[in-house]
Chains A and B, each alone.
Chain A
């Protein structure tokens, strides 16, 4: 699903955010990307979504080489990814349901399937009672779950969640991590960034990759 070989990322201002990254993610994987603030976690997810292009090395996402991808080809790839953004990126002035449907409208779905898939995924994240609530009025945790619902409603092959535990309390953070974990299956991989290291240390069926200063560090279990 993800194959990164020796990738580097240097931003236009000269910041070298990622160096010599080697990662393989297979279908069915649950991968946690951990590391301190500014270590490069979001930058790596941006590469996976085609928001940035590696300055060097080779990156293959869902079979597509990311070095020169653009236009309709990039759009098609993004439709197979379920992104959960650090800042959610929900559309203001719309309800939870409308937001989730927004991510489905340009897929090949009938209007019945569209609505069903959106409602189902909102139920799955525990927001069936908030379908028609405006996202503007939602709490941080609710917004988080709408954004997860939008990401998974499209039944993506790859779920990329950036800092989904944010500033949630321990109990709710664990719930969100469990929820995201529940979407992985034989054809779906989940990648989650977090700095809440203490919450994932006992998740032995997952893989953990630590990034520090843009480089991958060795970890006790699960190799990069």
Chain B
């Protein structure tokens, strides 16, 4: 019955008129919806990046196995073979005291001077063991029973706290998601309501002429959608700009944080924000119309 095809031009023109009628306040709304979504994107991105980093770190979980100094070279090789054969161990590598020393020089960089204060090499040889993080308890138990094992340095505290951080971040981002979602919904709802309030005489006229409610509503839903989408685009622009800035800064002095590919994040941001703005715009219009109809 509702001749939507015939009226597409009319609906978009009406939506434009509704937006133009209160241009200043609508621009402010696009701006605030954009900022809110921007915060949402930052939190989501922060969570995503740290999650990736943690996963990467966890997947590279390694422990250091120090062996008794009495072991001869051949015995060390046998021990390494045994370690490698253990369930949950992915690879092993022998690290000599000299290699450990030069690794530390590399890590300390300019500060490597301090190592000169030692007369002898303070490091000892060890076996570097890459393991599956999920098997850590099992692996440690088995390795401790091997003969010749002196001491195992696991990074369990570090790994555990990484997992805790990830959990906390996830919780925070869920809460921010919900808060920002509600705020956007409220803003869009409020805007549609005031749009309807401004157009109440026209709406009454259309009703008296027998227009179906859907015909009356479509321009308002459309204008709500445009507002939310406008905010969404603004948020995307802002956040990609900020992301570029952060990446530019991070790649220099913080090379040990494994950052995911920038393009991948941006496409994630876009695919998250656009549907979200559409949903918020439509839902906001729906609530706006509903509450205006009730009053």
Residues of A at the B interface (CB closer than 8 Å) are 49, 51, 72, 74-81, 83, 85, 89, 91, 93, 102-103, 105-106, 108-111, 114, 150
Residue pairs across A and B with Cβ atoms less than 8 A apart, 22 shown, are A51-B208, A74-B210, A75-B211, A75-B212, A78-B207, A78-B209, A78-B210, A80-B210, A81-B210, A83-B208, A89-B208, A102-B209, A105-B7, A105-B10, A105-B211, A105-B215, A106-B2, A106-B211, A109-B6, A111-B6, A114-B6, A150-B209
B3 touches A106 (CB 8 A): yes
CB proximity to A under 8 Å, residues B208-259:
208-212, 215
B211 touches A89 (CB 8 A): no
Provide the residues of chain A in CB contact with B212, threshold 8 Å.
72, 75, 106
Interface of B (DSSP majority class)? helix
Provide the residues of chain B in CB contact with A83, threshold 8 Å.
208-209
B201 touches A89 (CB 8 A): yes
Closest B residue by C-beta to A79: B210
Instruction: Say if the beta carbon of B202 comes within 8 Å of chain A.
Output: yes
Question: For the complex, what is the distance from the CA of A105 to the CA of B216, rounded to whole Å?
Answer: 11
Q: How far is the CB of B216 from chain A (nearest CB, A)?
A: 9
Question: For the complex, what is the distance from the CA of A31 to the CA of B209, rounded to whole Å?
Answer: 21
CB proximity to A under 8 Å, residues B1-20:
1-3, 6-7, 10, 17
Question: For the complex, what is the distance from the CA of A110 to the CA of B6, rounded to whole Å?
Answer: 7
Residues of B at the A interface (CB closer than 8 Å) are 1-3, 6-7, 10, 17, 201-202, 204-212, 215
Q: Given contact pairs A79-B210, A114-B6, enumerate 15 new A-B contacts (beta carbons under 8 Å).
A: A72-B212, A75-B210, A77-B210, A78-B207, A78-B209, A78-B210, A89-B201, A91-B205, A102-B206, A103-B209, A105-B3, A105-B10, A105-B215, A106-B212, A108-B3
Partner of B1, one of A78, A80, A108: A108
Provide the residues of chain B in CB contact with A111, threshold 8 Å.
6
Closest B residue by C-beta to A89: B205
Question: For the complex, what is the distance from the CA of A135 to the CA of B106, rounded to whole Å?
Answer: 80
Question: Nearest 9 CB-CB pairs, A to B?
Answer: A78-B210, A79-B210, A89-B205, A106-B215, A111-B6, A75-B210, A106-B211, A103-B209, A91-B202
Provide the residues of chain B in CB contact with A89, threshold 8 Å.
201, 204-205, 208
Known contacts A89-B201, A93-B17, A78 near B3 by CB under 8 Å: no
Question: For the complex, what is the distance from the CA of A108 to the CA of B2, rounded to whole Å?
Answer: 8
Provide the residues of chain A in CB contact with B209, threshold 8 Å.
78-79, 83, 102-103, 150
Closest A residue by C-beta to B2: A106
Query: Could you say which of B2, B205, B209 has the most chain A C-beta atoms within 10 Å of its C-beta?
Result: B209
Q: How far is the CB of B218 from chain A (nearest CB, A)?
A: 11
Closest A residue by C-beta to B216: A106
Q: How far is the CB of A121 from chain B (nearest CB, A)?
A: 14
Question: For the complex, what is the distance from the CA of A215 to the CA of B209, rounded to whole Å?
Answer: 28
Closest B residue by C-beta to A78: B210
Question: For the complex, what is the distance from the CA of A81 to the CA of B207, rounded to whole Å?
Answer: 12
Provide the residues of chain B in CB contact with A105, threshold 8 Å.
3, 6-7, 10, 211, 215
B208 touches A78 (CB 8 A): yes
